Chain A
Amino acid sequence: MSINKEQDFGTPASTSAQLVTLEIDGFKVTAPAGTSIMRAAASIGIDIPKLCATDSIEPFGSCRLCVVQIEGGRGMPASCTTPVSEGLKVVTQNQKLADVRRGIMELYISDHPLDCLTCSANGDCELQDMAGAVGLREVRYNPVETHLNAVKDESNPYFSFDPSKCIVCSRCVRACEETQGTFALTIDSRGFDSKVSPSQNQAFMDSECVSCGACVQACPTATLMEKSVIDNGQPEHAIITTCAYCGVGCSFRAEMKGEQVVRMAPHKDGKANHGHSCVKGRFAFGYATHKDRITKPMIRASIKDAWQEVSWEEAINHAASELKRIQAKYGKDSIGGITSSRCTNEEVYIMQKLIRAGFGNNNVDTCARVCHSPTGYGLKQTFGESSGTQDFDSVMKADVIMVIGANPTDGHPVFGSFMKKRLREGAKLIIVDPREIDLVRNSPHVHADFHLKLRPGTNVALINALAHVIVTEQLMDEAFVNERCDVFSFAKWETFIAQEHNSPEATESITGVAAADVRAAARLYATAGNSAIYYGLGVTEHSQGSTSVIGIANLAMATGNLGRVGVGVNPLRGQNNVQGSCDMGSFPHEFPGYRHVSDPATHQLFENAWQAELSSEPGLRIPNMFDAALDKSFMGLYCEGEDIAQSDPDIQHVHSALRSMECVIVQDLFLNETAKFAHVFFPGSSFLEKNGTFTNAERRISPVRKVMSPLAGYQDWEVTQKLANAMGYPMNYSHPSEIMAEIASLTPTFAGVSYEKIDQLGSIQWPCYDEASAGTPIMHEQSFMRDNGKGLFMLTEYVATHERTSRKFPLILTTGRILSQYNVGAQTRRTDNVAWHSEDRLEIHPHDAEDRGLKTGDWVGIQSRAGETVLRALISERVQPGVVYTTFHFPESGANVITTDNSDWATNCPEYKVTAVQVSKVSQHSEWQENYQAFTETQLDLLEQGINNG
């Protein structure tokens, strides 16, 4: 192993198909037209000195260190800004060039600290490297004024800004603009006074900086430096792995010192992120070694008892014995398990295998139940496959981007940056969201052409209205529909959608969106050329979540926006492995590859492969498990990586269900909320401690690689395997690659997937039908994946949610995420990301606040039909009158105390996004919060007693 630095070609690659041939230092080189001389030279191993150029951003030509001479040309052009052309003869090294470069370096160094030996960039400093490359031996200047005493900005928890070391190359400024798209940095002032300035000469933490790290990555000196590198020194080896946060699934180089992660650097060749990152993936990995990690197995008889640390063998045997006892007492179907999108594919696969083959039932579900299960249903019904249709790169060819119920700059920040780049290039933007997300804001760089600010819970009415315009104004792609879709279903849908009650004028009173805006947005979507829809939980987490997904699919089919680059239907998956956990068969009605448990051929296939008698009946979904627990027919649960006691709706109901179970087994990094109700605790391993794969929102299967030993001794898949063996169902995998081989052998869409191929290609997008295939970036290019190959239109009648406002509950609460925190916060709350967001707040419109006498910072009680909690208020015009909003990253917030048991008709995905509430000023926490605090203190005491006794 080595640090294996990634080559920097100096300027971005050209995508031109036209090739030109030139000569550099006497060597012939052929490169695509538009390539810089610098890059062409680098491609044949000739490194032209450079400082202001790096291949993640466009060339700037300011440092002049990369000057070259061209035969027959005048002067010394910068090789970074000079494109190749046919027959050029370029000289990169001669005495004249050497003198110029040495002179430039001399000037740079005359205003740079000479503390190389103690500098944090020592060993990774391009300025130092260039001084060596040009042969700088002396600095003749004795400047009367320098920047050497410039004051450091240490405000960001993750990196330091030391302007005394800045060479004003603008790489950070350009990275912030071009890569991240935030424009938080600028060069302030002129000449000698020029300096990098966050916003208006503010500290980084007070500026618009989103801490993505692109500036740090781009900095050629120690000016912008990770504090982890300052503290620990340069890493000595690097291992490529995949981020454990959102569904973008960024590829990272875990840069290591032994078993310590020094830095997570975004991997340039990562096909999902292309060398970019966000504050979570790049910096918020400290949770993996946080003091709260539990590293020893524990058991207890009751949740009133202290935990007892035991050996792995004892914990596994106890868990198996309890599960068997419960089955003997309550029946075979009385136990089950819940997997998580934070688990690897291999972990999910063997978990569902254990439940189906070892427990003998199909009571397995995954947290996708509470996020994207409607996507799985809706897209399977219409397109024939439960997945998005595009790769992320496809957005760069979109002419119109419609974002429905998603907040990419916060929830999927790296993809959000790609999207913003495309918008800066001129793509149009339609936002469908009750709240003003960042993309809506009018700015010189990005703004929405239409913000359809609908009332929460009315997605279907709005989508129908869009479709109505497309149908009645004859904006359909009839050739596509006739050739690619089921024409019988289309005819039925066309008649339905053309009915007056679906018109924008008729639905205006439902959605609150002006009919003229709906008509204009529909015309834009239908006629732009390439239109792409990106959607999130604002679509799925509704009582009509599946209907909305179907409606979106109908829209795309009707307009022919499928089957090519730049279009498509793209669910933005919340967690890193939502797609994978669903692919792996962790739904109670489907085997891996979305095949129903009652399908005779599939059933037989798995019975033969697993050597077990399998049930052909669907099992319990997560909310059904809770109901069955209270009904005493579901009494044992194995829950891996998921925190149902915080993340699921109507949380008091969930807690009651957990309390009524006789054995709850939790496998996790921390004593999470669910573990407080557990009887067995298996310490889990973080993504840094195990091997496996994650599948991101674009179906990309990427490697997760072990960079340190599991703190508790075992990788998670090994623990599940041990439990299977203790239950009497043998599993003998020696490496996750063997699990993937089994998945590939049993799942046609994964048939060509193997660890060897992932190592070779870096990642693979399924479907991948055979060994020769390199995967499928764009789906449904020739035909849909339904049995007859035709896309199916379905009727999508709008049905109002059961959740209604009333005089008692006049406001609608909707929920969402924020950039710096991640879902239940178990990871990010244990990092310095709390510097940005240390509590959940309730956003309320000024009018509603005024009616209630509220100001920002006041404690407010939020009452719903399900419960009551208290948060601090944040007055904001982002929400519309009548709507309030909160995030849900802190358990003490109790956001799910107030959400209800309403759920999607098809999948039981909870309706998190619509809860009728009343808000009023209060002076103390809610009763639930008081009880929660007391319960948590008790559970932490019981944990401490266990650790002290262990």
Chain B
Amino acid sequence: MKIERLIKMANDIGDFFNAESNKEIAAEGVTKHILRSWDPRMRRDIIAYCRQDGAGLSELVKTAISRLERV
């Protein structure tokens, strides 16, 4: 899948959960949202991208995606 699009989608999700001041809870929100709504091939691609360097992903999203790997 086109990675630019996935980065944008992930960051948009992060922007919503970023309103939460507790960043643990915010990251958990992003992880759960992606897990429950993204097709596995999209998850695979964003995880792989995040593993490389994750450029363009917000810090919150990077944290959330790294947790996604462990789910």
Contact = CB atoms under 8 A, between A and B. Distances in A.
Interface in B1-55: 1-2, 5, 8-9, 12-13, 15-16, 18-20, 33, 36-42
Interface residues of B, number: 20
Contacts of B15: 797, 799, 905
B33 A630 contact: no
A352 interface: no
A588 interface: yes
A604 B42 CA distance: 25
A27 B41 CA distance: 76
A716 to B, nearest CB: 27
Contact of B41 (A543, A628, A903): A628
Contacts of A802: 8
A938 interface: no
Given A543-B12, A905-B16, A618 B37 contact: yes
Contacts of A631: 1-2
B42 A598 contact: no
A157 to B, nearest CB: 46
Nearest to A546: B16
A627 B1 contact: yes
Contacts of A633: 1, 41
A381 to B, nearest CB: 10
Interface residues of A, number: 33
A796 B13 CA distance: 12
Contacts of A589: 36-37
Specify which of A546, A547, A620 lies most central, judged by the most chain B CB atoms within 10 Å of its CB. A620
A620 B19 CA distance: 27
A448 to B, nearest CB: 31
A675 to B, nearest CB: 26
Contact of B20 (A544, A598, A795): A795
A318 interface: no
Contacts of A627: 1-2, 5
B58 to A, nearest CB: 12
Contacts of B38: 618
B36 A596 contact: yes
A907 B39 CA distance: 13
Contacts of A588: 39
Contacts of B5: 627, 901
A795 B1 contact: no
Given A795-B20, A797-B16, A905-B13, A617 B1 contact: no
Interface in A603-631: 617-621, 624, 627-628, 630-631
Contacts of A544: 16
A890 interface: no
B71 to A, nearest CB: 11
A628 B39 CA distance: 10
Contacts of A624: 1, 39, 42
A360 to B, nearest CB: 14
A496 B19 contact: yes
A908 interface: yes
A589 B1 CA distance: 19
21 contacts: A496-B19, A588-B39, A589-B37, A617-B40, A618-B37, A618-B39, A619-B39, A621-B37, A624-B42, A628-B1, A628-B39, A633-B1, A795-B20, A797-B16, A799-B16, A903-B9, A905-B16, A906-B13, A906-B16, A906-B33, A907-B37
Given A621-B39, A906-B13, A908-B9, 11 more contacts: A496-B19, A589-B36, A617-B40, A619-B39, A624-B42, A630-B2, A633-B1, A633-B41, A796-B19, A797-B15, A905-B16
Interface of B: 1-2, 5, 8-9, 12-13, 15-16, 18-20, 33, 36-42
